[in-house]
Amino acid sequence: MHANNSSHTPLAGRQTQRLRLRLRLAALAALAAAVLVVGCTAQGSRRAEPVSTDQPAATATVPEESSSETPASAAASQPASLSTSLAEPAFSNLDDLAARDPRAFLERVASRCSDLPDYTLRFTRTERRGLIPRLEGPEHIEVWFRRRPFSLRMKWLNEDLKFGESVYVEGRHDNMVRFVTRWWSPPLAPPPAINRVDLLTPVLLGESKRPLTDFGLEKTMARILATLDKAGSGATLSYLGVVEREAGGPRVHHIRVEYAPTGGKAPSQDLYFHLGSGLPAGAVLRTAVGQLDAAYAYDDIRPDVGLRDEDFLLEVERGAAASEPADAPATMPAAAAKRPDGAGTLDSP
């Protein structure tokens, strides 16, 4: 019995080893098949849903209009880390650039504004001005703008303001500003007579903070960048997300600029830019003690409309029967009548 058992033991051991080897080979084959299936599935998923290089998958700063999330809650819902393919889209998307690099965004907007040959827009202005400074406005103004020759026509929509319309064209009419009032306001000539003043007179009389030749989206952006350059490290740029410029108003990018206290009148500035186009949507300037110094809003911006010399004539010069261009609205929308600083209507200080 003993000899018999000893002769069968090596054979049984070899069979056991072969069985174990077969089991290992089968397990490796199954694992390889599983990896192949997973790889094919992942590849098919990427082909079916390619990642766009123009619009990142995580757009917390540009939520959809229908979303009920606030910009802060939308940002909080995003994953803490993203792969490079999702987090580094091309900077051709202004909406993305605003959040990633506010300074580069401002430079890109300035470049775009400098390329606009002409445009129309709706301008809302509230300013602390005058020989005895006080808050004036809001003024609701239709604007026609042309870069060359520099031409600017403004039509006031407020029926309770004395100004009706003004126009300036560089190199014409002795470089004077020409305007018509709504009613007789001595010593100005009564309507429909045309008044003529030089560019600085409205500033000296407290009717405006700046001369008409300082108006325009391009010059606004140039002033912002020049002030930032001058301030250097004394200026702080903060991107505050996508917000409503005012209750019921457009959703815009919000960038805050804070300057070191150096005696400037408005060390705190809130800048707003339209989604998509990146064009300026407004600004709110505050003094060191938080007092409103100025608030501006730019709405219904229509670039490249092909303005001609006839568009820079006063209505009285075009005759009583002349009508406004078809794309010029006659009244101010309710949303634009609200203050861009979010403190209520523009009529309240």
The predicted-structure confidence for 298-328, as pLDDT tens digits, reads as follows 999 999 999 999 999 999 998 744 445 444 4
Q: How far apart are CA 296 and CA 158, in angstroms?
A: 16
Q: How far apart are CA 136 and CA 60, in angstroms?
A: 37
pLDDT of residue 299: 98
In this predicted structure, the answer to whether residue 195 has a pLDDT above a threshold of 60 is yes
pLDDT of residue 29: 52
User: Which amino acid makes up residue 149?
Assistant: P
> Who wins on pLDDT, 143 or 262?
143
For 221, the domain range is: 113-322
Residue 265 — pLDDT band, cuts 50, 70, 90? confident
Residue 102 in any domain: the answer is no
User: Could you read off the pLDDT of 79-96 as tens digits, one per residue?
Assistant: 322 222 333 333 347 899
- Residue 318 in tokens: 């075009």
> Who wins on pLDDT, 122 or 58?
122
Q: Are 258 and 266 in contact (CB under 8 A)?
A: no
The domain total for the chain is 1
> Who wins on pLDDT, 324 or 166?
166
Write a three-state SS string for 142-170. Answer: EEEEECCCCEEEEEECCCCCCEEEEEEEC
> Who wins on pLDDT, 137 or 41?
137
Full DSSP string of 92-139 = T-HHHHHHH-HHHHHHHHHHHHHT--EEEEEEEEEEEETTTTEEEEEE
Question: Which CATH number goes with the domain that contains 247?
Answer: 2.50.20.10
pLDDT of residue 266: 85
Residue 325 φ/ψ, nearest 5 degrees: -55, 150
> Who wins on pLDDT, 227 or 334?
227
Residue 282 in any domain: the answer is yes
Residue 13 — pLDDT band, cuts 50, 70, 90? low
Q: Are 165 and 180 in contact (CB under 8 A)?
A: yes
Q: Are 270 and 283 in contact (CB under 8 A)?
A: yes
> Who wins on pLDDT, 57 or 186?
186
Residue 144 in any domain: the answer is yes
Least confident of 12-26, 179-193, 278-292: 12-26
Residue 302 in any domain: the answer is yes
Residue 90 in any domain: the answer is no
Residue 60 in any domain: the answer is no
Q: Are 177 and 166 in contact (CB under 8 A)?
A: yes
pLDDT of residue 27: 54
194 to each of 138, 145, 189, 313, 316, how far by Cα in Å?
24, 20, 7, 11, 8
pLDDT of residue 14: 53
Q: Percent of the chain at pLDDT above 70? A: 64
Give ∠ CA 134-138-144 in degrees, rounded to 5: 125
Residue 35 — pLDDT band, cuts 50, 70, 90? very low
- CB neighbour list of residue 148: distance below 8 Å, 6 or more residues apart: 117
**DSSP tag of 325:** -
Q: Are 285 and 266 in contact (CB under 8 A)?
A: yes
Helices 102-114 and 217-231: angle between axes, nearest 10 degrees: 140
Q: How far apart are CA 349 and CA 343, in angstroms?
A: 8
Residue 342 in any domain: the answer is no
- Rounded mean pLDDT of the chain? 76
> Who wins on pLDDT, 117 or 264?
117
Residue 11 in any domain: the answer is no
Question: Cis (ω within 30 of 0) for the bond into 138?
Answer: yes
